[in-house]
Amino acid sequence: MATYSAETSAVVLLDDTTLTVGADGKGVEHRRHVVKILRPNGRDEGVVWIPYDKDTKILSLHVWSIAPDGKQYAVKDNEMVDVGYPGQGSLYEDIKMRAVRAPGRDPGGVIAYEYDQRKEPYLHEETWMFQQEIPVANQSFTLELPPGYTYGTVWAHHDQQKAADLEHQRYRWEMNATPGIDLDRVPMHPSELALAGRMTVHYAPVGTSADSLATWRGIGEWYEPLMRDRVLSTPEIAAKAAALTSGKTDFYDKTEAIGDYVQAQIRYFVIEMGIGGQQPHPAADIFRNGYGDCKDKATLLSAMLSSVGVHSTLMAVDHRRGVVDPLAPSIFGDHMIAAIEIPKGYESAKLRSVITAKTGKRYLIFDPTWDKTAFGQLEYNLQGGYGVLFEGKDTEIVELPVLSPELNSVKRSGTFQLAVDGTLKGSLTEKRYGDVSERMRSLYTESDAKQQRSFLDESLSHDFTTVDVEDVKVENAASLSKELTTSYELTAGRYSRSMGPLLMVRPRVLGTEGLPVDRKVRLVPIDLRGTRLIHDDFTIELPDGFAVDELPEPVKLDMGFASYESSSQLTGKTLHYSRTYTVKQVSLPADRYGDLQKLALAIENDEQNHAVLKKK
pLDDT band, very low/low/confident/very high, at 93 (cuts 50, 70, 90): low
Residue 112 backbone dihedrals phi, psi, to 5 degrees: -135, 145
Interatomic CA distance for residues 479 and 432, integer angstroms:
12
Q: Using an 8 Å Cβ cutoff, are 524 and 186 in contact?
A: yes
Cα separations (Å) of 283 from 260, 270, 302? 17, 14, 9
Q: Give Cα 481 distance to the centre of its chain.
A: 22
Note the pLDDT tens digit of each residue in 147-180: 999 999 999 999 999 999 999 999 999 999 999 9
Interatomic CA distance for residues 187 and 597, integer angstroms:
12
Q: Please state the rounded mean pLDDT for residues 191-199.
A: 96
SS3 for 460?
helix
Residue 220 backbone dihedrals phi, psi, to 5 degrees: -65, -40
87: pLDDT strictly greater than 70:
no
Interatomic CA distance for residues 352 and 170, integer angstroms:
50
Note the pLDDT tens digit of each residue in 95-149: 788 999 999 999 999 999 999 999 877 778 899 999 999 999 999 999 999 999 9
Note the pLDDT tens digit of each residue in 432-450: 999 999 999 999 999 999 9
Alpha helices (runs of H) in 536-612, residue ranges in sequence order = 593-608
pLDDT score for 94 = 63
- Residue whose C-alpha is closest to residue 611's, from 565, 576, 579, 581: 576
Residues 6+ positions from 157 with CB-CB distance below 8 Å: 131, 194, 195, 196, 197, 198, 325
Residues 6+ positions from 227 with CB-CB distance below 8 Å: 279, 280, 299, 314, 390
Cβ count within 10 A of residue 512: 11
Residue 3 backbone dihedrals phi, psi, to 5 degrees: -90, 135
327: pLDDT strictly greater than 90:
yes
Q: Which amino acid is at 470?
A: E
SS3 for 378?
coil
149 pairs with which residues across the strands?
Answer: none
- Residue whose C-alpha is closest to residue 369's, from 306, 295, 317: 295
Would you say how long the chain is, in residues?
616
pLDDT score for 92 = 53
499: pLDDT strictly greater than 90:
no
Interatomic CA distance for residues 333 and 79, integer angstroms:
33
Kind and range of the H or E element at 241?
helix 235-244
SS3 for 406?
helix
DSSP character at residue 554? P
pLDDT score for 202 = 93
Q: Are strands 136-144 and 10-21 parallel, antiparallel or unpaired?
A: parallel
pLDDT score for 89 = 46
Q: Are strands 10-21 and 27-37 parallel, antiparallel or unpaired?
A: antiparallel
Note the pLDDT tens digit of each residue in 506-530: 999 999 999 999 999 999 999 999 9
Q: Which of 8-22, 86-100, 149-163, 372-386 has the lowest mean pLDDT?
A: 86-100
Angle at the Cα of 432 (from 426 to 435), degrees rounded to 5?
150
274: pLDDT strictly greater than 60:
no
Q: Which amino acid is at 341?
A: E
Interatomic CA distance for residues 169 and 318, integer angstroms:
34
pLDDT score for 85 = 58
SS3 for 613?
strand
Q: Using an 8 Å Cβ cutoff, are 467 and 575 in contact?
A: no
Note the pLDDT tens digit of each residue in 228-256: 999 999 999 999 999 999 999 999 999 99
Please give the share of the chain, as a percent, with pLDDT higher than 90: 84
Kind and range of the H or E element at 258?
helix 251-265
Interatomic CA distance for residues 148 and 130, integer angstroms:
28
Q: Give Cα 29 distance to the centre of its chain.
A: 30
- Residue whose C-alpha is closest to residue 198's, from 168, 233, 160, 167: 160
Higher-confidence residue: 470 or 87? 470
DSSP character at residue 492? E
Cβ count within 10 A of residue 236: 12
pLDDT score for 209 = 75
Q: Please state the rounded mean pLDDT for residues 275-279.
A: 68
329 pairs with which residues across the strands?
Answer: none
pLDDT score for 213 = 77
Note the pLDDT tens digit of each residue in 201-218: 999 888 777 777 789 999
**Whole-prediction pTM:** 0.91
- Residue whose C-alpha is closest to residue 531's, from 349, 352, 370: 352
